[in-house]
A and B are shown apart, each in its own frame.
Chain A
Amino acid sequence: MKDREKVREHVFGTLLPTPADARPADSVDLFNLGLDSLRLMQLLVFVEQSIGVNLPDHEMTPERVESIDAIMDWIGEHQ
């Protein structure tokens, strides 16, 4: 599985479950879908363990995690 698919699957399959046939676009605002502090922490741990990318704490801002696109850009900066 490609990294983007892995992240999508984790976000829409586990953190913010959404029916497979109705998954939002990668640009959709995740905060509006219920992304909160607990799920955000789980997402970071997932990225570090499953993709093997360490995301520096100081870079974590709302803008970097607000959508799948934003998260993938952030991961890309560290691959």
Chain B
Amino acid sequence: MSISSPDRALQTPIVSSISNIFVLLVDAARAHGDGVAVDFQGGTLRYNQLIERAERMATTLRAAGAQPGARVAHAFTKSIDALVALFAIARTGAAYVPIDPAWPTDRIMAVCEDAGIAIWTGSKLPATEIASIMRATFVSQAADSDAVTIEASIDAPRINGVIPAPERGIANLLFTSGSTGRPKGVEITTLSLDHFSKWGADYFGLTPSDRVANHAPYNFDLSTFDIFSAVRTGATMCPVPERVRMFPYQLATFVAQERISVWYSVPSALVMMQLRGQLPEHDLSALRHVIFAGEVMPMPALKSLMAMLSHATWTNLYGPTETNVCTYYSVNNKDALAESPLPIGRPISETRVWIVGPDGLEVGVEGSGELLVAGPTLTTGYANDADLTRERLVPALNGVGLAYRTGDRVRRRDDGELMFEGRIDRMVKCRGHRIEPGEIETALFGHPSIREAAVIAIPDPIFGNRLRACVVFRDGATATQADLIAHCRANVPAYMIPDEWDIRDALPQTDRGKVDLRALAASE
């Protein structure tokens, strides 16, 4: 039996694509040059200004070594500079690698190593250890250092020459939680971004007069809609300022004042606005599409939201980072009245799905099983991890190319809509973040006082889940909760720090000697 390699699958794309995502900006500047590309905290850039800045910065980046095959860190909080840098990196043919500047230094280091990053762009200077492995550094705020400011980097002439395609078509790498304790880098292709952003722009009928909010951080695949679907239609990107994201009333004020017409976020941001945003006080009449993805939407909150914003359409998108969005479901009023969870819906264009049992064969009409996805938005694999790539990308059931094993258990409803039922492994979602408990446990095992550790998810009506760490200390050893949290803070991102701690004398075990996670969850 022959198994297709990821490269082979790439050579036979199902649909044609542009060669570089920068082409979307070229087209936008040509068709809507005077249109506002980005509006952020009172500052705006028109499309012809955004492309000019990106092309100038690209000259500086190329001189620093950015080219096809290179990977460039993109460590920004929301800003105009972030968008300039993103398109400048793309223009050189390098892949951009979004990094949350708030991640612990060790995690950023692991990402830089796995991705092979030697050029840094970001809001601020990286930590000294990280700066020391960079060949060049470009930042918004430089203070006293050798780094080049983004502002200075755009003094260069506009880049010339053809727009190169990135190596193996990889436009960016999105790092997500890894069960072994090390984050994994998902390769996202130009084909994937082009296809998904086109589907999104077409499905929601975006126009140059739309104002599209960007709520998700750049390392979340949700941001690819906010950026590329907006750019390809000449709409205005409206990044949500970092501190406003946490404040429901401010967030609702932002949506009203910025006249946001398209909103896409994790459900928890919407639920917070429903609970504490005083939505009826705000003029949200410009809002025409509300889109959510990343975790299960709580139905009582959705019902209330839809009643408050009855003029907007509501759409549930589904898809792991590895497939970007692969299915969609348009919510109707009947769904809002029902108690049952929303479907994840049907595949987007050119995308195929299968539901398979443990034997790898499709389940019957009523059966539930693991969802496999094939189509143009599929990843080519994980950076620097051929084993994991082989495990997750398997031959598609129709014999054409590869399919991604999502790890999500689904079934098909009578009317054909797909229903999400849970995970076949331990992955959990908290506030839309994808979390492998194993990554947190690995961090906990690094604490000198800990002998055993297990992390479980406790369902939460607003945030999807809360994390509870159950730990057993070594004989004679102890640690305060504060010590444990400080230890986590140094090793995992803030959203992975357990919300609750359960110090025990022992963890329950299964008859096979593994930690009995079910018993732990049940012993609440």
A interface with B by C-beta (< 8 Å) = 16-19, 22, 31, 34, 36-38, 40-41, 44, 57-62
Q: Are A58 and B281 in contact (CB under 8 A)?
A: yes
From the candidates A16, A22, A31, A60, name the one contacting B276 in the complex (CB within 8 A). Answer: A60
Q: Are B480 and A17 in contact (CB under 8 A)?
A: yes
Q: Are B246 and A37 in contact (CB under 8 A)?
A: yes
Q: Is B299 an interface residue (CB 8 A)?
A: no
Residues of B within 8 Å of A60, CB to CB, are 247-250, 276
> Can you identify 8 A-B contacts, CB atoms within 8 angstroms?
A17-B480, A17-B485, A19-B482, A31-B243, A37-B431, A58-B278, A60-B249, A61-B247
Q: Is B466 an interface residue (CB 8 A)?
A: yes
B41 to chain A, nearest CB (A): 14
Q: Are B482 and A57 in contact (CB under 8 A)?
A: no
Specify the chain B residue showing the minimal Cβ separation from A42: B499
Q: Are B272 and A41 in contact (CB under 8 A)?
A: yes
Residues of B within 8 Å of A37, CB to CB, are 245-246, 268, 272, 431, 463
Alpha-carbon separation in the docked complex, A60 to B499 (Å): 23
Known: A17-B480, A38-B499. A57 touches B246 (CB 8 A): no
Residues of B within 8 Å of A31, CB to CB, are 243
Q: Are A62 and B243 in contact (CB under 8 A)?
A: yes
Q: Which of B239-280 contact A (CB under 8 A)?
A: 243, 245-250, 268, 272, 275-278
Q: Is B489 an interface residue (CB 8 A)?
A: yes
B248 to chain A, nearest CB (A): 7
Q: Are B247 and A38 in contact (CB under 8 A)?
A: no
Known: A17-B480, A34-B494. A57 touches B466 (CB 8 A): no
Alpha-carbon separation in the docked complex, A19 to B479 (Å): 10
Specify the chain B residue showing the minimal Cβ separation from A62: B243
Q: Are A57 and B276 in contact (CB under 8 A)?
A: yes
Q: Is B191 an interface residue (CB 8 A)?
A: no
Specify the chain B residue showing the minimal Cβ separation from A31: B243
From the candidates B275, B277, B482, name the one contacting A18 in the complex (CB within 8 A). Answer: B482
Alpha-carbon separation in the docked complex, A27 to B137 (Å): 34
Alpha-carbon separation in the docked complex, A58 to B524 (Å): 36
Q: Are B489 and A34 in contact (CB under 8 A)?
A: yes
Residues of A within 8 Å of B130, CB to CB, are none
Known: A57-B277, A61-B250, A62-B247. A38 touches B431 (CB 8 A): yes
Q: Is B103 an interface residue (CB 8 A)?
A: no
Most chain B beta carbons < 10 A, residue from A17, A34, A57? A57
Alpha-carbon separation in the docked complex, A60 to B251 (Å): 11
Q: Are A57 and B489 in contact (CB under 8 A)?
A: no
Q: Are B249 and A57 in contact (CB under 8 A)?
A: yes
Q: Is B331 an interface residue (CB 8 A)?
A: no
Residues of A within 8 Å of B247, CB to CB, are 40, 60-62
From the candidates B276, B431, B480, B494, name the one contacting A19 in the complex (CB within 8 A). Answer: B480
Q: Is B481 an interface residue (CB 8 A)?
A: yes
Known: A17-B481, A18-B482, A57-B276. A38 touches B250 (CB 8 A): no
Q: Is B497 an interface residue (CB 8 A)?
A: yes
Alpha-carbon separation in the docked complex, A60 to B277 (Å): 10
Alpha-carbon separation in the docked complex, A62 to B249 (Å): 11
Q: Is B113 an interface residue (CB 8 A)?
A: no
Given contacts A17-B485, A41-B275, 4 further A-B contacts (CB under 8 A): A17-B481, A34-B494, A36-B494, A44-B276
From the candidates A18, A57, A62, name the one contacting B248 in the complex (CB within 8 A). Answer: A57
Q: Which of B486-503 contact A (CB under 8 A)?
A: 489, 494-495, 497, 499
Residues of B within 8 Å of A36, CB to CB, are 246, 494-495
Q: Is B483 an interface residue (CB 8 A)?
A: yes
Alpha-carbon separation in the docked complex, A41 to B275 (Å): 10
Specify the chain A residue showing the minimal Cβ separation from B282: A58
> A-B pairs with the 9 shortest C-beta distances?
A17-B482, A37-B246, A57-B276, A57-B249, A62-B243, A17-B481, A19-B482, A58-B249, A18-B482
Specify the chain A residue showing the minimal Cβ separation from B241: A62
Q: Which of B473-524 contact A (CB under 8 A)?
A: 480-483, 485, 489, 494-495, 497, 499
B251 to chain A, nearest CB (A): 10
Q: Are A38 and B466 in contact (CB under 8 A)?
A: yes
Q: Is B462 an interface residue (CB 8 A)?
A: yes
Binary interface encoding of chain B residues 416-435 relative to chain A, with 1 for a CB under 8 A from any of its CBs, else 0: 00000000000000010000
Alpha-carbon separation in the docked complex, A65 to B198 (Å): 41
Specify the chain B residue showing the minimal Cβ separation from A40: B246
Q: Which of B152-195 contact A (CB under 8 A)?
A: none
